[in-house]
Amino acid sequence: MAKTQDFTAIMKDFMGAFPVDTSAMEDAFKTQATLGEKLSAVALDAASKSTDLSTKWTKDTLAKMTDLSKAKAEPADYAKAITDFASAYAEMSAENMAAFAEIAKKVQTDTVELMMAAGKDMSEEASAMMQKATKDASTAAKKATTAAAAK
C-alpha cells in the first residue's frame, strides 16, 4: 500500500523559509491611525470655529434687531431704522462669510499638508518594506537553493 506524503511538514518548511514580518503592517496601521487623528483634529477645530462664528453672528443680528424693534417718534424713523439694519446686516454678512471662507481655506491647507506628509511617510514605509521583503526573499531563495543542492 502506498504511503501518503506528509504535507504538514512540507508546508511548515515552506512557511518557515518565507517568514512573515508583521511589523510593516503594524507601522502602516499606526500611520493610518495617526493620520485619522490629525484629520479629525482639523475637522473638529473647524467645526468649533464655525460654531463660534455662527453664534457671534446670531448675537450681533439679535442686537441689531433689538434696536430695530424699538418704538419711534416719527414714521420716517422706522424707515431709517430698517435701512440702518439692512446696511449693518449686509456688512455683517460680508464679514462673516469672509471669516467662514478663511476657516475653509485653513482646513484645505491643513488637509493638503497632512496628506502630503502622510504620502511621504507611506512611500518611505512601502520602500523600506519592499527592500526588506526583497532581502528576505533573496535570503530564503539562497537557503532553499543551498538545501536543494545539499540533497
pLDDT at 135: 80
Read off the pTM: 0.65
Q: Report d(CA 111, CA 48) in Å as an integer.
A: 17
CA distance 83 to 87: 6
pLDDT digits (tens, 9 = 90+) for 30-55: 888 999 999 999 999 999 999 999 99
Show me where the domains of the chain are located. Answer: 40-131
The residue type found at 15 is M
Q: Give per-residue pLDDT as tens, 100-127.
A: 999 999 999 999 999 888 888 777 777 7
CA 106 to chain centre: 14
Question: pLDDT tens across 73-104, in order?
Answer: 998 999 999 999 999 999 999 999 999 999 99
- Please report the pLDDT score of residue 151 as a whole number: 61
